[in-house]
Structure 1
Amino acid sequence: MKKLHKLIILSYLRPFAATFFIVSFILSMLFLFKYIDELVGKGLEWYTILQLLGYNFAVNVPLALPLAILLASIMAFGNLGEQYELVAIKASGISLSRAMLPLVGVMILLSIAAFYFSNIVMPHSFLKMGSLLYDVKQKKAAFNIPEGVFYNDLDGYSIRVNRKDHDEKTLHGLMIYDHTQGNGNMNVVMAKKGEMFKSDDGRFLVLNLYDGVRYSENPGEKGYNERQRQTRIRFKEYGLKFDLSGFNLERTKEELFKDHYQMLNVKQLISKEDSLQTLLKSKQKNLDAYIEPTFLIFRRNENYTKIKADTALKWKNSDILNNMPATDRMVVADDAINSMRNVKSYLSTAKDENKSTNELLRKHMVEFHRKFTLSFACIVLFFIGAPMGAIVRKGGLGLPVIISILFFLVFHVLSMTGEKFAKQGQLEAYQGMWLATIVLVPMGIFLTYKAATDSAIFDVEKYQRFFNKFFPKKKD
């Protein structure tokens, strides 16, 4: 029995490892293609790009792991069925459910590992990847002055070079606009030749100019002269120094990103949910305290219904304003209008704040349930893939890949749809996040039963006989 367990486990782990890393690699390449514009041309170190890919590899586990489990299950039991090893196992008196038992234990271990990964590793990976990707986006492109166009990436300066030598250091025909004073194109330097090099620490660019002239325009004395004073200085050699700190990858503190809902574990999500619920109650209490004094006649009672106005007041006229002095009517009406405008503005602001807080609360609850749905999805997809492989009895990367992709598309579409509805408030968070699992569980039970009883669910003639009972053919 131990040898049989070893055979089944090894026949499963080999395709599982291969498919998991293949799918993860494809998803990492998709991430690379998505952010290729942010990475190319910025002079990033190779280890920085490798870090991004490593963090993205961890983030993609919720997509790669279920697909790998499903495909490996179909391939493993499809290979066993194709090579008649399942027939030999059943002939020896061992049922399919009993043969699947060692892999059920493996699935339980994988589910526990998946929960640990979702709860501990993924929030940390999201934090690292989010902060690093933000810093990469903020980094300027690598310093490189092109020929014939103005280069504006140096803060406060605009540089144009007619020609560069092959050493990329000697420049000819330079024009430099100095915008550091914030007064437009009032200062310009022109030179026939220049040489540039970086300081020893790489923080500054030093540009030595030769045979040129510097123009500057300034207001006249005391600012009353409409004409401007122009200064022209010719030079044989002139030096400029530019700060290159913007071209370096400056790391932002990760504490600025740690409160994002994707970067919290289960305990932190529960704490955040309580905080948001308390905030909503506090805002509702403040809203009631502001609104209720405004409406003295229609106040809420315990049943949240409108109570009747005070009938003890005796009015001569049904129109309340006509019971007041004519001189006070306009003042009272204006005061009532202003009061209603203030209430309307306050309600509009409170509505927007309540909507944004509820959206944030739903996102936290969606992320809370995501920590558990991944673990259960691993088990459910195994009980779909293993019996499906035993039924089709085809191994390799042909039919199993097609079947696994179809089932995974159903799982992924249901997951994304449920998550979207949950975030929009059309479904509760637990309903949206568990929608795919709830739909696929009956399918897994059905396939497991069919495989255990050796039912041929792909027998077309069987289905024809079934429908012929309800729709018999007419005899000629």
Structure 2
Amino acid sequence: MKILDKYLLKTFLTTFTTVFVILFFIFILQTVWLFIAELAGKDLDLLMIIKFLAFSMPRIVPLVLPLSILLASIMTFGNLAENYEFAAMKSSGISLQRAMRSLTVFIILLSIVAFFFSNNVIPFAEYKFINFRKNIAQVKPALAIAEGQFSDVGFYNIKVNKKSGAQGNTLTGITIHKKSQSGDGSKTVIKAKDGELISSEQSSILQLVLNDGYYYEDIVPKNYVDREKLPFVKSSFKKQIINIDLSELNKVDVNEESVASSNTMLTVNELNYTLDSLNKNMKTDIIAFSENSNTRITYPEKSKKVVVKKNKPLPNNLLSLYSNQEKSNILQLASSTIESTIYTIDSSNTDLLNKQKNINNHLLAFYDKFVIVFACFLMFFIGAPLGAIIRKGGLGLPIVFAILIFITFHFINTFGKRLAQENGMTPFMGAWLSSFVLTPLAVLLTYRATNDIGLISMDVILAPFQKILKKLFPTQN
């Protein structure tokens, strides 16, 4: 390796490492901010918090890595151009492509590492993170009860509008559905204005104290005739205490891993296998729906058959061949069949759309593992020429350009994925849209930097206006 390559590589690595650490720390703070409501005041020990954050860190890398490469490239080549080191290189016959050669090799190696990280480390971390978070929620009931949604706690589904207090144990706007022991749904509903969670480390019983509420329960009589009357019990209370046995919940091992179905947890091979299964299942469902629809749209075999002479043409109104009673039966059957078919189509359509969204999410997760590889190249070939063109290093102008470019990249990437999830475009296009949009920019900047053309050529902009002015005001000799 020549001295120039060592110098460029050392300069780039120093800048890249510094930028990566700073940005990684910033994104970690963002992660802490996102989950602070779940972590703060929940009696979690330091080790559990460290594990929680450690499992959430790898997901940050696909965001931080391309941005770090972009900013480090702009700063490195901007410093070289600002200090006239590029001018010295060019006077010695060293082109921009030659100067970028060693760094290009480094970016290739970094991209390979990024792929293996995305394919192995991130799925493993997501697997750990989701299971760890689920198990914490079971061990810490206050953490399990989320605001604005039903949370499963033992034999109860609990929803609260707001949680407050130092431990998050003061609840407001409580709705509770008690699970039926027979497994036929929830027949008991309890609503309360407010309440409080009371627990003790020495006891496995969680007390839920409810204030100013109503109790509603459906009664299922043994006599089937009485069931048609839909009897129920309703009462009000000023205070009611519900004891929830946490002995089974507290047997949960926070290191146990039972959830393993999220697309973010899967490697490329696992995603391929899962996608194959999902596509086969969807095709099977479509065929089954088609066959079921054909079976539904038939006339009962027991119906009266009308015999028509061979040479006699059929009437325009086929119903005229039947009696009034038969006409009524046929029309009723047709009406019920149409209603049933429409309902089946709507429900099947919703089910198939959800399955297609699931397939799209798996495809997006599959393509994302390759997008990060290309993103490393893309950001380098945008940042390096841009730094050479603007001729500014440091943390001023390079940060402005880096943020603008990366926000554009991230916005287009998010927009494409959302469209792909809703079948607005193919998952391939959704995942690669940002790369396709910014690749021409990388080519343009590399071309202009190689040929010593500025970022914006004022001559190109002013030339049309100069021609117009010359025509309007010709010079007189």
TM, length-normalised to structure 2: 0.72
What is the CA–CA distance in structure 1 between the aligned matches of 2:244 and 2:357, rounded to whole Å?
Answer: 46
Q: Distance in 2 between matches of 1:289 and 1:466?
A: 69
Distance 2:27 2:45 in 1: 22
Asked if 1:140 corresponds to 2:141, the answer is yes
Query: What is the total number of aligned residue pairs between the two structures?
Result: 382
Query: Corresponding residue for 2:465?
Result: 468
- Residue 340 of structure 1: how far off its partner (Å): 2.6
Structure 2 distance, partners of 1:136, 1:315, is 77
Distance 1:249 1:78 in 2: 58
How much does 1:318 deviate? 3.6
**Match for residue 371 of structure 1?**
369
8 Å contact 2:78–2:393 — kept in the other structure? yes
> CA 1:341–1:475 in 2, change beyond 3 Å: closer, same or farther?
closer
* Counterparts in 2 of 1:204 and 1:338: CA distance versus 1, 3 Å: closer
Task: Report the alpha carbon displacement of residue 248 of structure 1 after superposing the two structures with TM.
Answer: 6.0
| Residues 241-294 of structure 1 deviation map (CA, whole Å, 9 limit, x = unaligned) | 997759969446865421111111111111111111111211121122122244
Cα contact 1:39–1:136 (8 A) shared by 2: no
Equivalent AA in structure 1 for residue 49 of structure 2 = I
Paired residue for 1:343, among 334, 341, 344?
341
Distance change (3 Å), C-alpha of 1:60 and 1:471: farther
What is the alpha-carbon distance in structure 1 between the residues aligned to residue 357 and residue 312 of structure 2? 49
Listed one character per residue, the Cα deviations across residues 337-358 of structure 1 (whole Å, up to 9, x for unaligned) are 3333332222222111111111
Which residue does the alignment assign to 2:285? 283
CA distance in 2, matches of 1:246, 1:45: 21
Tell me the CA shift for residue 336 of structure 1: 2.8
- After superposition, the CA RMSD in angstroms is 3.3
CA contact (8 A) 1:383 1:448 kept: yes
Match of 1:222 in 2: none
Q: 1:135 touches 1:249 (CA, 8 Å); kept in 2? A: no
Highest CA radius of gyration, 1 or 2? Answer: 1
Aligned residue among 264, 267, 274 for 1:265: 267
Corresponding position of 2:233:
none
TM-score under structure 1 length normalisation: 0.72
- After superposition, the Cα gap between the structure-2 partners of 1:252 and 1:285, relative to the gap in structure 1 and judged at 3 Å, is farther
Worse-matched range after superposition: 346-355 or 405-414? 346-355
TM-aligned CA deviation for residue 128 of structure 1: 1.2
Give 1:9 shift.
0.5
Give yes or no for contact 1:127–1:254 (8 Å, CA) kept in 2.
Answer: no
Aligned mates of 1:291, 1:315 — CA distance in 2: 31
Greater displacement, 399-408 / 24-33:
24-33
In structure 2, what is the equivalent of residue 423 of structure 1?
421
Aligned twin of 1:229: none
2-structure distance, mates of 1:11, 1:197: 57
- CA distance in 1 between partners of 2:423 and 2:246 (Å): 48
Q: 1:471 to 1:58 in 2, by over 3 A?
A: farther
Are residue 100 (structure 1) and residue 100 (structure 2) matched? Answer: yes
Q: In structure 2, what is the Cα distance between the partners aligned to 1:311 and 1:19?
A: 90
Change in CA separation of 1:278 and 1:472 when aligned onto 2, cut-off 3 Å = same
Of the structure 1 ranges 288-297 and 365-374, higher mean CA displacement relative to structure 2 is found in 288-297
Write out per-residue CA displacement over residues 289-345 of structure 1, whole angstroms, 9 at most, x where no aligned residue: 122244469xxxxxxxxxxxx996957754333322334333333333333333222
- CA distance in structure 1 between the partners assigned to 2:85 and 2:443 by the alignment: 23
Following TM superposition, by how much is the alpha carbon of 1:82 offset from its aligned partner in structure 2, in angstroms? 1.8
Q: Which residue of 1 aligns with 2:407?
A: 409
Q: Which moved more, 1:342-351 or 1:380-389?
A: 342-351
Q: Is the CA contact (8 Å cut-off) linking 2:76 and 2:387 kept in structure 1? A: yes
Do the aligned partners of residues 295 and 25 (structure 1) sit closer, same or farther apart at CA in structure 2, a change above 3 Å counting?
A: same
Counterparts of residues 238-249 of structure 1 (less than 5 Å): none
Q: In 2, distance between residues paired with 1:254 and 1:441?
A: 44
Structure 1 101/332 Cα, relative in aligned 2: closer, same or farther at 3 Å?
same
CA distance in 2, matches of 1:242, 1:295: 51
What amino acid does structure 2 have at the position aligned with 1:260? S
Q: What is aligned with 2:294? A: 292
Q: Deviations over 1:48-87 (max 9, x none)?
A: 1111222222101111001000000001111111222222
470 and 274 in structure 1: CA distance in 2 versus 1, 3 angstrom threshold = farther
Distance 1:106 1:316, change over 3 A: closer
Query: Residue in 2 aligned with 1:39?
Result: 39
**Could you tell me how far apart the structure 1 residues matched to 2:32 and 2:248 are?**
24
**Alpha-carbon distance change, 311 to 132 in structure 1, aligned in 2, over 3 angstroms:** farther
Change (3 A) 1:197 1:368: closer
- The 2-side partners of 1:249 and 1:397 are apart by 52
SS of the residue corresponding to residue 377 of structure 2 reads helix
Q: Distance in 1 between matches of 2:373 and 2:322?
A: 72
Secondary structure of the residue aligned to 2:141 is coil
| Equivalent position of 2:26 in the other structure | 26
Identical pairs, percent: 33
CA deviation string 1:162-187 (max 9, x = no partner):
xxxxxxxxxxxxxxxxxxxx9x9xxx
Partner residue, 1:188: none
Other-structure match for 2:431: 433
Separation (CA, whole Å) in 1 of partners of 2:442 and 2:275: 34
Residue 109 of structure 1: aligned partner: 109
Partner of 1:300: none
User: How big is the shift at 1:26?
Assistant: 1.2
Give distance in 1, aligned partners of 2:40 and 2:119.
33
1:119-134 paired onto structure 2 within 5 Å: 119-134=119-134
5+ residue gaps, structure 2, are 144-152, 157-187, 191-198, 207-242, 300-307
